[in-house]
């Protein structure tokens, strides 16, 4: 049964707003609260024609509004991007700051994630700017600059507790992704590899460079029935898996991604991806 999903940071979802939207969208049943003052949903007959207009109208209330037309909502595969999705940074930008080329690399990253530059070429260009950097900088960045995104551990633990497989798939680097995957408890990890000689970066990446097509390949390999997967990301290189998966979520995403994704979370943390699947907060692990 199609539903309207309403999710906000904890304590910010006003029951009066939920009631108002039930009337505006012609709800066909009562609202179900998945978490008090945080997540609710109610059934509707079809996607409301004014969904985007209403979403814009309530944006100032920090509420994520989505239409979900998916009867089999609880997914058996979680496939997630790393940078700015499962962590709060772009690893390559943080590493570049250690090399003294942070602003230049960050500018290229922003354009690549917005779809203005071809991803694999942007990776090669940015890595080339860090040639000669000691690999000790990687550990320093991991220890001092990288933070896990709120709700990530709960998302991974809960889905695994309910039998799902979890995969971290990044266009970033395995030197970071392996640690992040371990901290969050992912089953699988796939990422690019920085090439190293004599303890320093060579300025190149192992080929082939993992980009949008590779993320789709991992999705289809781990879940031949893509409808059984939830894919989460924020950048243009995530759009392939986001649009292919049964539940594709743009997470605090760039505008080009948010506008194209079936579902979007702009205000809440990663536990929203559990509410989208119909989990109640009592089921969180």
Measuring CA to CA, which residue among 230, 226, 224 is closest to residue 277? Answer: 230
The owner of tokens 């090669």 is: 124
Q: Which residues contact 226 (CB under 8 A, 6 or more apart)?
A: 219, 220, 244, 245, 246
Q: Which residues contact 184 (CB under 8 A, 6 or more apart)?
A: 86, 148, 152, 153, 156, 168
Structure tokens at 92: 């390559």
* Catalytic choice (14, 30, 37, 81): 81
The β-bridge partners of 64 are: 7
Structure tokens at 256: 């080009």
Annotated active-site residue 81? The verdict is yes
Structure tokens at 209: 């460079």
Element (DSSP H or E) covering residue 180 = helix 174-184
CA 148/CA 46 separation, integer angstroms: 37
Structure tokens at 155: 């998302």
Annotated active-site residue 83? The verdict is yes
Burial of 61 (0-12, 13-18, 19+ CB in 10 A): middle
- 198 sits in the region (left: phi over 0; alpha: psi -120 to 50; else beta) called left
Cβ(220)–Cβ(226) below 8 Å: yes
State phi, psi for 217 to the nearest 5 degrees. -60, -45
* Catalytic choice (37, 69, 70, 83): 83
Active site residues: 81, 83
């Amino acid at each position: 049964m199609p539903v309207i999903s309403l999710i906000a940071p904890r304590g910010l979802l006003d029951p009066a707003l939920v009631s108002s939207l039930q009337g505006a969208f012609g709800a066909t049943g009562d609202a179900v609260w998945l978490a008090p003052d945080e997540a609710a949903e109610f059934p509707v007959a079809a996607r409301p024609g004014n969904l985007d207009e209403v979403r814009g109208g309530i944006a100032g209330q920090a509420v994520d509004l989505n239409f979900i037309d998916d009867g089999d909502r609880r997914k058996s595969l979680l496939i997630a991007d790393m940078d700015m999705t499962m962590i709060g940074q772009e690893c390559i930008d943080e590493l570049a700051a250690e090399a003294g080329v942070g602003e230049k690399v960050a500018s290229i990253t922003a354009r690549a994630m917005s779809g203005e530059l071809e991803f694999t070429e942007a990776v090669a260009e940015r890595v080339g700017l860090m040639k000669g950097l000691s690999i000790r900088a990687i550990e320093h960045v991991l220890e001092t600059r990288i933070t896990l995104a709120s709700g990530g551990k709960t998302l991974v633990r809960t889905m695994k507790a309910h039998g799902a497989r979890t995969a971290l798939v990044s266009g970033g680097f395995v030197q970071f992704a392996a640690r992040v995957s371990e901290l969050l408890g992912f089953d699988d990890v796939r990422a690019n590899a920085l090439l190293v000689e004599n303890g320093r970066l060579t300025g190149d990446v192992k080929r082939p460079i993992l980009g949008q097509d590779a993320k789709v390949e991992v999705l289809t390999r781990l879940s031949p029935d893509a409808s059984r997967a939830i894919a989460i990301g924020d950048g243009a290189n995530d759009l392939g898996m986001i649009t292919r998966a049964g539940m594709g979520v743009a997470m605090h995403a760039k505008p080009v991604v948010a506008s194209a994704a079936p579902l979007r979370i702009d205000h809440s943390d990663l536990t929203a991806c559990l509410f989208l699947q119909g989990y109640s907060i009592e089921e969180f692990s």
